Amino acid sequence: MIDPRRLRVLRALAEHGTVTAAAQALYLSPSAASQQLAALEAEVGHVLLERRGRTVRLTPTGTVLATHAAKIAAQLEQAEADMAASSAGLAGEVTIAAFASAISEVVAPAVAPLRERAPQVRIRVKDAEGLASRRLLIDGVVDIALAVEHRDTLTQSGEQLLREPLYAEPFDVVLPSDHPLASAPEVDLAELSADPWITPWPGNPVHDVVLRACETVRFQPRVECLADDSRAVCALVSAGSGVALVPRSALHGIAFGGAVVRPVSGSRPTRRVFTAVRRGSEGHPLLQLALRGLRDQAAALSS
């Protein structure tokens, strides 16, 4: 009989790439994780890891078992969801990972209505961008992740995660108030090809959207400032450090001072946000309640 707890360690190794990182994700010591993997090899009677000095990687057999481990984890999630659904009471805890503006505009406004519907449900929130959301979800640290479509985020999760579109929003141009295009009703991005730009750091999904939008009109932005926080980006624009593209919801509540906001003319760059849960957990009544609340708030945001 294969111990599911040891399969979880194997999954973490496949996800994180090293025993140390897998152990950290599961709150184990590296030696404890190594012992679990050695015991798993003994249970199945196959070599699962290829050791090269201080590094390890999965053998072909280990890769096969890691794939099955993901499916088994989904079945266990389904069992927990079914049991929770059969017991009627809505009580417990749901943890949500989301990026900053999604927390401000969707998650936080959804918390109060959720408390009214189910006073015994506790909502916990973790601020996480991009790839971090995916790892937190797969590692079981959070129950729901909100993330942006991006090559390095939850799109790579295969059978482990179930995702659903939540909302889409356009990007707007933020210009210094003395910019020649500041009074234009709309701005053609091609007219900003000679300007210095302010973008989030590479790895942030918004950074990729900005680069793609500029490439579409045939120029590469000259990035002079990097900041992940939208307030910091707008402050730099107000100071005359450059121009920026910012998701519309991230602009809510910002005091612009020396900056103006204008829509993009033509085909507007768009940020598409989705929710993701571990496959098999989607029927859990607490997750259904939280997802419904997030969808309601996202619909209000879009309107």
Confidence grade of residue 299 (pLDDT, cut at 50, 70, 90)? very high
Region 280-296: mean pLDDT is 90
Q: Is the pLDDT of residue 211 over 80?
A: yes
Q: Residue 124 forms beta bridges with which residues?
A: 95
Asked if 173 and 264 touch (Cβ cutoff 8 Å), the reply is yes
Is the pLDDT at 124 greater than 50, yes or no?
yes
200 and 262 in a common domain: yes
Spatial distance between the Cα atoms of 66 and 17, rounded to a whole number of angstroms: 12
Stretch 244-265: mean pLDDT: 91
Are residues 183 and 194 located together in one domain of the fold? yes
pLDDT, average across residues 4-24 = 79
96 and 13 share one domain: no
d(CA 229, CA 207): 12
What pLDDT shows up at residue 236? 96
Look at residue 153 and tell me whether its pLDDT is greater than 60.
no
> pLDDT per residue over 38-73, tens digit each?
788 777 778 887 777 667 778 788 778 777 777 777
Shared domain for 255 and 280, answered yes or no, is: no
Q: 4-16 and 30-44 helices cross at what angle (nearest 10)?
A: 120
* Six token digits for residue 303: 């309107």
Can you give the pLDDT at residue 83? 64
Whether residues 117 and 256 share a domain: the answer is no
Q: Is the pLDDT of residue 189 over 80?
A: yes
**pLDDT category of residue 16 using cuts at 50, 70 and 90:** confident
Residues 116 and 151 both lie in one domain: yes
Mean pLDDT of all residues belonging to the chain: 85
Q: What is the pLDDT of residue 154?
A: 47
Residue 250 DSSP one-character state: G
Q: Is 137 exposed, middle or buried (0-12, 13-18, 19+ CB in 10 A)?
A: buried
Q: Are strands 121-127 and 92-98 parallel, antiparallel or unpaired?
A: parallel
What was the pLDDT predicted at 54?
67
Q: Where are the alpha helices (DSSP H) in the chain?
A: 4-16, 19-25, 30-44, 60-86, 100-102, 108-117, 130-138, 205-216, 230-238, 285-302
Residue 143 Cα distances to 203, 268, 288, angstroms: 23, 32, 11
Asked if residue 158 has pLDDT above 80, the reply is no
Q: 118 lies in which domain range?
A: 90-166+273-302
Output the domain CATH number for residue 212. Answer: 3.40.190.10
CA pseudo-torsion sign 76, 78, 81, 85: negative
Of 83, 117, 151, which closes a domain? 83
Distance, CA of 275 to CA of 94 (rounded, Å): 14
Complete DSSP assignment for 135-176 = HHHHTTS-SEEEEE--TTTGGG-GGGEEEEEEEEEEEEEEEE
Structural domain ending residue among the three candidates 50, 83, 116? 83
Same domain, 279 and 162: yes
pLDDT at site 89: 55
Number of domains in the chain: 3
Indicate if 48 and 26 belong to the same structural domain: yes
Are 124 and 54 in a shared domain?
A: no
Which one is predicted more confidently, 11 or 210? 210
